[in-house]
Amino acid sequence: MLNKVYDWIDERLDITPLWRDVADHEVPEHVNPAHHFSAFVYCFGGLTFFVVVIQVLSGMFLSMYYVPDIERAWESVYYLQNQVAFGQIVRGMHHWGASIVIVMMFLHTLRVFFQGAYKKPRELNWIVGVLIFFVMLALGLTGYLLPWDMKALNATKVTLDIAQSTPLIGDMLKTLLSGDEHIVGAETLTRFFAIHVFFLPAALLGLIGLHFLMIRKQGISGPL
């Protein structure tokens, strides 16, 4: 059945050459753990992407129940965790995944740095990778407020004060994040939700796509 569906699509779109171009791509010997134990350090990038996929899928599940309103946000999270089937598991995956993905990205960044993989001709890919790292930090920052509990409120107040201390654009940055009243309220929650669910994921997917495109074009960097 699946073969017939594939043949039907391939007859119209000719996807076989594209699939072979992806599937038949050779992996360098130095990243094969069967030949070199040190090749495991090359797994950090793939593991990071795997956790990102989990974050996206679990986040899509959570967004079906979350209500970005100051009167119902905490209640929606409580309902999700205690009433929805597997809700506690999915939320736990999303919660711990937010920390794990930062750790994996940090390890991946260390591997790239100490092996000199940021040097010519991969300078642009290094810049894109750093931008991905900042986007992931911003995702964790904006997602922290969404449960709307006291810990999240106090942490966000500190975040807004840090944003306000930014030279030249501090006041504008705080207004952008918190709203015109400069307090952690309904506008802040709405803006953090929009940034967390729409703007940052769009930027993340675009940067990851560009990252993979350059890796495919330039190949995986060699050992020291």
pLDDT tens digit string along 171-198? 999 999 998 777 899 999 999 999 999 9
Domain contains 132: yes
Domain contains 103: yes
Domain contains 83: yes
Domain contains 224: no
Domain contains 144: yes
Identify residue 221 by its one-letter amino acid code: S
Domain contains 223: no
pTM of the predicted structure, to 2 decimals: 0.88
CATH number at residue 18: 1.20.810.10
Domain contains 97: yes
Identify residue 77 by its one-letter amino acid code: V
Domain count, the chain: 1
Reply yes or no on whether the pLDDT at 90 is more than 80: yes
Are 108 and 100 a contacting pair, CB within 8 Å? Answer: no
- Characterize 209-219 residue by residue with b for buried, 16 or more Cβ atoms within 10 angstroms of its Cβ, and e for exposed: eebeebbeeee
Q: Tokens 């079906």 sit at which residue?
A: 64
Q: How crowded is residue 144: how many other Cβ atoms within 10 Å of its Cβ?
A: 16
pLDDT tens digit string along 146-179? 999 999 999 999 999 999 999 999 999 999 999 8
Domain contains 63: yes
With cut-offs at 50, 70 and 90, classify the pLDDT of residue 32. low
**Domain limits for position 103:** 2-114+121-218
Quote the longest CA-to-CA distance of the chain: 62
